[in-house]
Structure 1
């Protein structure tokens, strides 16, 4: 049983040594623990520092591509390296390496395909009241979209079985946390949560410049990912809102028309007709998108089969060597 701990990095030369020293190299139930560094176009010497510290695997992007794509690169590299379990953690030493055995336990026991570390943000003194409130709202929204009861939806400290890693397809360039949960829910993967220790961050987040930007990017990711799997439902509600809004001025026109004063309120009729037409057109778009989503599912099944074949071939070559 091989565990690979992957760490996406962007200019983490200074903090990398502390993070690596905190990762346990011997874990009950695991035969081999290896570390994978994903250097996401760092301008410092992150990759060189990782090599000096004896990291087992290093992959690098020539340019910064964002956390989600670095995470995707890590999953692919971990699978190619033969990982049975993959743990993703941050390079800023925010998460305690001593929690890794607890994080992977549900996977080793066959109880989960994916495990998310719950930072227990309500108890964190270094989390502001605003952050705690937004975290609860965001987790509730992800719970509604994914069907998974997850107390800390945006925690980056999580573990994946090999099977789960093969099935996930990360498309976002912002963050993988929300997208993986929604995909896991729609693919009927079993997701668990365990409490973990969280240390105060030593630097500002490099994922987003401000809270409004984080909210905007997270909302876009939620809607886009959910719409991929339930486009008809998304467009139905959008169209319904437009039709209901259009019904108001149409009813207003009818009231005046029945009282013999319709000629002076033709604008209401035009506005209402336009909104109702837009709503009906939105429903049509939803129907087409729903049909396209079936094609996307077929493509995902094909991609999964190709990925399995490539991994089996890679494993066979390794056995021969």
Structure 2
């Protein structure tokens, strides 16, 4: 059983060494542990720190491509190098590395394919009351959209089985947390959470400037990902509702046209009714087109899954550790 721990980094020279030192060297049930550092265009000494600490693999980009791209590239790299379990952690030493053992336990026991590290955000002293509230509300919304019970949707401390990593794709360059949870729910990937510990904060988050910016970007990801899987239901519901309002206004016009004795026929109602009915019809058509596009996406995802499985079966792992 091979475990690979990937660490996406962007200018993490001050914290990467502590992050690496905190990782376990052995876990019961795991035969081999390897570490992958993904240097996402760092302009400091992150690469040198990784080399100095003798990490097994380094994946380096000349320019910053964003957390989502770095994460997805790391997952593909781990799959190509024969990982049976992939753990993602952050380079800022936010998560207790020793808890990797807790994170992979449900996978080893066959109880889940994806495990989320629950920080217990409501009890984290460094979080303000506003941030705790946003975390709680955000997790509830994501849980509802994904049809999963996820107490800490924003956690980046995750463990993936090879099967789960092969099934999940990346649809945004912003972040992988919300995106992957919704995909896991829609693809019926067995998912669970375990309580983990956190270390003292060494720096502020670079992923977003404020809590409101994070909420805005996360909401954008939610809408984009959820719409990809439920486009027909969303657009058809909105279209039928709009069309229905148009029909009601049309009936109102007919009532005054047939039974009113005044010269005022409420032509405005007829015009608005026509607009609403046309808009509703177009929404339904948009939903149908989007559903057809989603069907094509499902085919592409299935092909990607099959290709990844072929790659991992073929390599398992013929490539030596090193730097890319």
Instruction: Tell me if both proteins adopt one fold, taking TM over 0.5 as the criterion.
Output: yes
Q: Is the 8 A contact 2:81 2:317 kept in 1?
A: no
- Pairwise CA RMSD: 2.0
- Of 251-260 and 201-210, deviating more is 251-260
* TM-score between both structures, scaled by the size of structure 2: 0.92
The Cα offsets for residues 191-230 of structure 1, whole Å up to 9 and x where unpaired, read as 0100111234222211111222211211111111112122
- 8 A contact 2:81–2:319 mirrored in 1: no
CA distance in 2, matches of 1:106, 1:75: 20
CA distance in 1, matches of 2:266, 2:147: 47
Q: Deviations over 1:69-122 (max 9, x none)?
A: 111011011112211111101111110011111111000001100000111111
Going from structure 1 to structure 2, the CA distance change for 1:262 and 1:249 (only over 3 Å counts) comes to farther
Q: Deviations over 1:160-209 (max 9, x none)?
A: 01111111111211110011111111211100100111234222211111
- CA shift in 2, pair 1:135/1:254, >3 Å: farther
- In the TM superposition, residue 138 of structure 1 has moved relative to its aligned partner by 1.3
Per-residue deviation at 1:317? 4.2
Q: Which residue of 1 aligns with 2:308?
A: 307
User: Matched residues in 2 for 1:194 and 1:170: separation?
Assistant: 24
CA deviation digits over 1:6-43, x for unaligned, max 9? Answer: 11101101111111111111111111111111111111
**Residue in structure 2 matched with residue 26 of structure 1 by the alignment:** 26
Q: CA deviation at 1:283?
A: 0.8
Give the conservation status (yes or no) of the 8 Å contact 2:41–2:65.
yes
SS in structure 2 of the partner of residue 55 of structure 1: coil
Q: Is the 8 A contact 2:15 2:202 kept in 1?
A: no
Residues 85-94 or 245-254, more deviating = 245-254
Task: Between 285-294 and 72-81, report the one with greater CA deviation.
Answer: 285-294
Match of 1:73 in 2: 73
More contact order relative to length (CA 8 Å, sep ≥ 6): 2
Cα drift, residue 249 of structure 1: 5.4
For 2:286, the equivalent position in structure 1 comes to: 285
- Name 2:220's counterpart in structure 1: 220
Partner Cα distance (1:100, 1:10) in 2: 22
Structure 2 residue runs of 5 or longer lacking an equivalent are none
Unaligned runs of 5+ in 1: none
Q: Secondary structure at 2:316's aligned position in 1?
A: helix
| TM-score, scaled relative to structure 1 | 0.92
Match of 2:4 in 1: 4
Determine the C-alpha separation between the residues in 1 that align with 2:317 and 2:53: 30
Partner of 1:48: 48
